[in-house]
Chain A
Protein backbone atom coordinates (compact mmCIF):
# COMPACT_ATOMS: atom_id res chain seq x y z
CA UNK A 1 0.00 0.00 0.00
CA UNK A 2 1.26 3.47 -0.82
CA UNK A 3 -0.17 4.71 2.47
CA UNK A 4 2.49 2.90 4.43
CA UNK A 5 6.19 2.98 3.71
CA UNK A 6 8.39 0.28 5.20
CA UNK A 7 12.15 0.52 5.39
CA UNK A 8 14.40 -1.11 4.63
CA UNK A 9 12.96 -3.36 1.92
CA UNK A 10 15.31 -6.10 3.03
CA UNK A 11 18.17 -6.60 5.41
CA UNK A 12 20.75 -9.21 6.28
CA UNK A 13 21.93 -9.46 9.85
CA UNK A 14 24.48 -11.62 11.57
CA UNK A 15 23.02 -13.96 14.17
CA UNK A 16 23.16 -12.30 17.57
CA UNK A 17 23.00 -8.76 16.18
CA UNK A 18 20.12 -6.32 16.60
CA UNK A 19 17.91 -5.00 13.83
CA UNK A 20 15.25 -2.32 13.37
CA UNK A 21 12.44 -2.01 10.84
CA UNK A 22 10.46 1.17 10.31
CA UNK A 23 6.91 1.80 9.17
CA UNK A 24 5.80 5.34 8.28
CA UNK A 25 2.36 6.70 7.47
CA UNK A 26 1.48 10.05 5.94
CA UNK A 27 -1.69 10.10 8.04
CA UNK A 28 -2.43 9.64 11.73
CA UNK A 29 -3.05 6.03 12.60
CA UNK A 30 -5.83 4.63 14.74
CA UNK A 31 -3.94 1.39 15.18
CA UNK A 32 -0.71 -0.15 13.92
CA UNK A 33 -0.32 -3.91 13.56
CA UNK A 34 2.88 -5.91 13.07
CA UNK A 35 2.80 -9.30 11.36
CA UNK A 36 5.45 -11.84 10.40
CA UNK A 37 5.21 -14.06 7.33
CA UNK A 38 7.33 -17.01 6.30
CA UNK A 39 7.41 -18.12 2.67
CA UNK A 40 4.45 -20.33 1.87
CA UNK A 41 2.70 -19.54 5.13
CA UNK A 42 0.15 -17.10 6.44
CA UNK A 43 0.70 -13.96 8.45
CA UNK A 44 1.36 -14.37 12.15
CA UNK A 45 0.09 -11.57 14.38
CA UNK A 46 2.86 -10.09 16.53
CA UNK A 47 1.61 -6.92 18.20
CA UNK A 48 -0.87 -4.08 17.99
CA UNK A 49 -0.19 -0.50 19.06
CA UNK A 50 -2.86 2.16 19.51
CA UNK A 51 -1.68 4.87 21.84
CA UNK A 52 0.89 7.51 20.99
CA UNK A 53 4.18 6.64 22.63
CA UNK A 54 3.08 3.07 23.27
CA UNK A 55 5.70 0.34 23.44
CA UNK A 56 5.14 -3.41 23.60
CA UNK A 57 7.57 -6.29 23.88
CA UNK A 58 7.29 -10.01 23.32
CA UNK A 59 10.36 -12.12 23.89
CA UNK A 60 13.10 -10.34 21.94
CA UNK A 61 10.82 -8.22 19.77
CA UNK A 62 9.86 -4.66 20.74
CA UNK A 63 7.50 -2.39 18.83
CA UNK A 64 6.97 1.31 19.38
CA UNK A 65 4.47 3.86 18.11
CA UNK A 66 5.59 7.49 18.08
CA UNK A 67 3.70 10.26 19.86
CA UNK A 68 2.15 11.56 16.66
CA UNK A 69 1.00 8.03 15.74
CA UNK A 70 2.50 8.24 12.27
CA UNK A 71 5.57 6.05 12.65
CA UNK A 72 6.30 2.72 14.22
CA UNK A 73 9.48 0.74 14.65
CA UNK A 74 10.06 -2.95 15.26
CA UNK A 75 13.28 -3.86 17.01
CA UNK A 76 14.70 -7.36 17.38
CA UNK A 77 17.43 -7.90 19.95
CA UNK A 78 20.08 -10.60 19.51
CA UNK A 79 18.56 -11.99 16.31
CA UNK A 80 18.22 -15.73 15.78
CA UNK A 81 17.53 -17.82 12.66
CA UNK A 82 13.91 -18.12 13.82
CA UNK A 83 13.52 -14.37 13.30
CA UNK A 84 14.02 -14.71 9.55
CA UNK A 85 10.99 -13.90 7.42
CA UNK A 86 8.97 -11.01 6.05
CA UNK A 87 7.70 -8.42 8.49
CA UNK A 88 4.63 -6.42 7.50
CA UNK A 89 3.03 -3.46 9.19
CA UNK A 90 -0.69 -2.89 8.84
CA UNK A 91 -2.53 0.35 9.52
CA UNK A 92 -6.06 0.87 10.74
CA UNK A 93 -7.99 4.13 10.39
CA UNK A 94 -10.47 3.01 13.01
CA UNK A 95 -12.63 0.66 10.97
CA UNK A 96 -12.25 -2.89 9.68
CA UNK A 97 -9.80 -2.09 6.88
CA UNK A 98 -6.12 -2.80 7.30
CA UNK A 99 -3.71 -1.32 4.76
CA UNK A 100 -0.43 -3.17 4.62
CA UNK A 101 3.07 -2.05 3.83
CA UNK A 102 5.15 -3.85 1.21
CA UNK A 103 7.07 -5.78 3.85
CA UNK A 104 10.68 -6.06 5.01
CA UNK A 105 12.54 -9.29 4.30
CA UNK A 106 14.87 -10.27 7.13
CA UNK A 107 17.69 -12.77 6.61
CA UNK A 108 19.69 -13.96 9.61
CA UNK A 109 23.14 -15.31 8.82
CA UNK A 110 24.66 -17.92 11.11
Chain B
Protein backbone atom coordinates (compact mmCIF):
# COMPACT_ATOMS: atom_id res chain seq x y z
CA UNK B 1 0.00 0.00 0.00
CA UNK B 2 1.21 3.51 -0.75
CA UNK B 3 0.29 4.80 2.69
CA UNK B 4 -1.59 8.03 3.34
CA UNK B 5 -1.16 10.44 0.44
CA UNK B 6 -1.35 14.20 0.84
CA UNK B 7 -1.15 17.01 -1.68
CA UNK B 8 0.30 19.46 -2.15
CA UNK B 9 3.46 18.89 -0.08
CA UNK B 10 4.15 22.62 0.06
CA UNK B 11 1.80 25.56 -0.38
CA UNK B 12 2.69 29.22 -0.31
CA UNK B 13 -0.18 31.66 -0.59
CA UNK B 14 -1.07 35.23 0.18
CA UNK B 15 -3.30 36.27 3.02
CA UNK B 16 -6.96 36.21 2.03
CA UNK B 17 -6.60 33.45 -0.52
CA UNK B 18 -8.41 30.13 -0.35
CA UNK B 19 -6.32 27.05 0.38
CA UNK B 20 -7.39 23.45 -0.17
CA UNK B 21 -5.42 20.52 1.21
CA UNK B 22 -6.10 17.00 0.02
CA UNK B 23 -5.79 13.56 1.56
CA UNK B 24 -6.18 9.99 0.40
CA UNK B 25 -6.31 7.58 3.35
CA UNK B 26 -5.07 4.01 3.36
CA UNK B 27 -7.54 1.73 1.62
CA UNK B 28 -9.77 -0.08 4.11
CA UNK B 29 -9.30 2.41 6.92
CA UNK B 30 -12.57 3.82 8.20
CA UNK B 31 -11.21 6.61 10.39
CA UNK B 32 -9.57 9.80 9.14
CA UNK B 33 -7.95 12.59 11.13
CA UNK B 34 -6.68 16.06 10.24
CA UNK B 35 -3.94 17.51 12.48
CA UNK B 36 -2.01 20.75 12.58
CA UNK B 37 1.57 20.94 13.87
CA UNK B 38 3.28 24.16 15.00
CA UNK B 39 6.29 24.85 17.16
CA UNK B 40 4.19 26.66 19.73
CA UNK B 41 1.27 24.25 20.08
CA UNK B 42 2.69 20.94 18.90
CA UNK B 43 0.37 18.45 17.21
CA UNK B 44 -3.33 19.30 17.48
CA UNK B 45 -6.34 17.33 16.26
CA UNK B 46 -8.55 19.47 14.03
CA UNK B 47 -11.28 17.07 12.94
CA UNK B 48 -12.09 13.37 13.01
CA UNK B 49 -14.19 11.43 10.46
CA UNK B 50 -15.55 7.93 10.92
CA UNK B 51 -17.05 6.16 7.90
CA UNK B 52 -16.94 9.50 6.03
CA UNK B 53 -19.01 11.27 8.71
CA UNK B 54 -17.52 14.13 10.76
CA UNK B 55 -17.65 13.00 14.39
CA UNK B 56 -15.62 15.63 16.19
CA UNK B 57 -14.72 19.04 14.74
CA UNK B 58 -14.12 20.72 18.08
CA UNK B 59 -10.48 21.30 17.16
CA UNK B 60 -11.27 23.37 14.07
CA UNK B 61 -10.00 26.81 15.06
CA UNK B 62 -12.50 29.03 13.27
CA UNK B 63 -15.28 29.10 10.72
CA UNK B 64 -12.62 29.83 8.15
CA UNK B 65 -11.71 26.15 8.37
CA UNK B 66 -13.88 23.45 6.84
CA UNK B 67 -13.35 19.78 6.03
CA UNK B 68 -15.18 17.29 3.88
CA UNK B 69 -14.99 13.59 3.17
CA UNK B 70 -17.19 12.86 0.15
CA UNK B 71 -16.11 9.22 -0.02
CA UNK B 72 -13.91 6.68 1.73
CA UNK B 73 -10.84 7.51 -0.34
CA UNK B 74 -10.74 11.29 -0.30
CA UNK B 75 -10.87 14.19 2.12
CA UNK B 76 -10.21 17.91 1.90
CA UNK B 77 -9.36 20.61 4.41
CA UNK B 78 -10.16 24.12 3.24
CA UNK B 79 -9.13 27.46 4.70
CA UNK B 80 -10.98 30.50 3.40
CA UNK B 81 -9.76 33.17 3.79
CA UNK B 82 -6.25 32.20 4.88
CA UNK B 83 -4.26 34.23 7.42
CA UNK B 84 -0.54 34.26 8.30
CA UNK B 85 -1.27 32.55 11.64
CA UNK B 86 -2.55 29.52 9.69
CA UNK B 87 1.03 28.79 8.64
CA UNK B 88 1.82 25.30 9.89
CA UNK B 89 2.27 21.71 8.77
CA UNK B 90 -1.06 19.97 8.25
CA UNK B 91 -1.17 16.20 8.56
CA UNK B 92 -3.79 13.70 7.54
CA UNK B 93 -3.86 10.34 9.30
CA UNK B 94 -6.01 7.24 8.96
CA UNK B 95 -6.65 4.14 11.05
CA UNK B 96 -8.44 0.83 10.62
CA UNK B 97 -10.42 1.35 13.80
CA UNK B 98 -11.30 4.58 15.57
CA UNK B 99 -9.02 3.73 18.48
CA UNK B 100 -6.25 1.90 16.67
CA UNK B 101 -2.83 3.13 15.65
CA UNK B 102 -2.95 6.04 13.26
CA UNK B 103 -0.86 6.21 10.11
CA UNK B 104 0.23 9.66 9.05
CA UNK B 105 0.76 11.19 5.65
CA UNK B 106 3.87 13.23 4.80
CA UNK B 107 2.08 16.50 5.58
CA UNK B 108 1.47 19.76 3.76
CA UNK B 109 3.66 22.68 4.78
CA UNK B 110 1.50 25.79 4.46
CA UNK B 111 2.97 29.27 4.42
CA UNK B 112 0.62 32.25 4.33
CA UNK B 113 2.33 35.57 3.63
Q: Which residues of A contact B (CB under 8 A)?
A: 1, 30-31, 33, 35, 40-45, 48, 88, 92, 94-98, 100-103
Partner of A48 from B33, B101, B104, B107 at Cβ < 8 Å: B101
B99 contact set on A, CB distance < 8 A: 30-31, 92, 94-96
- Assess whether B34 is interfacial by the CB under 8 Å rule: no
| Segment 21-68 of B: residues with Cβ below 8 Å from A | 31, 33, 42-43, 45, 48, 50, 55-56
CA of A48 to CA of B103, assembled, Å: 12
Report whether over half of chain B's contact residues are helix, strand or loop; otherwise say mixed.
Answer: strand
0/1 string, B93-113, CB within 8 A of A gives 1: 100001101111111010000
A42–B106 CB distance below 8 A: yes
B101–A33 CB distance below 8 A: yes
Min CB distance A34 to B, Å, is 10
CA of A103 to CA of B105, assembled, Å: 18
Min CB distance A43 to B, Å, is 4
Closest-by-CB residue of A relative to B10 is A40
- Assess whether B72 is interfacial by the CB under 8 Å rule: no
B4 contact set on A, CB distance < 8 A: 42
CA of A96 to CA of B105, assembled, Å: 18
Min CB distance A97 to B, Å, is 6
Closest-by-CB residue of B relative to A93 is B99
B101–A1 CB distance below 8 A: no
B91 contact set on A, CB distance < 8 A: 42-43
CA of A101 to CA of B103, assembled, Å: 17
A43–B45 CB distance below 8 A: no
Min CB distance B31 to A, Å, is 6
Min CB distance B104 to A, Å, is 4
A-B contact pairs, 30 of them (CB 8 A): A33-B101, A33-B102, A35-B104, A40-B109, A41-B106, A42-B4, A42-B104, A42-B105, A42-B106, A43-B91, A43-B93, A44-B104, A45-B103, A45-B104, A88-B43, A94-B99, A96-B31, A96-B33, A96-B48, A96-B50, A96-B55, A96-B56, A96-B99, A97-B48, A97-B56, A100-B42, A100-B43, A101-B42, A102-B42, A103-B42
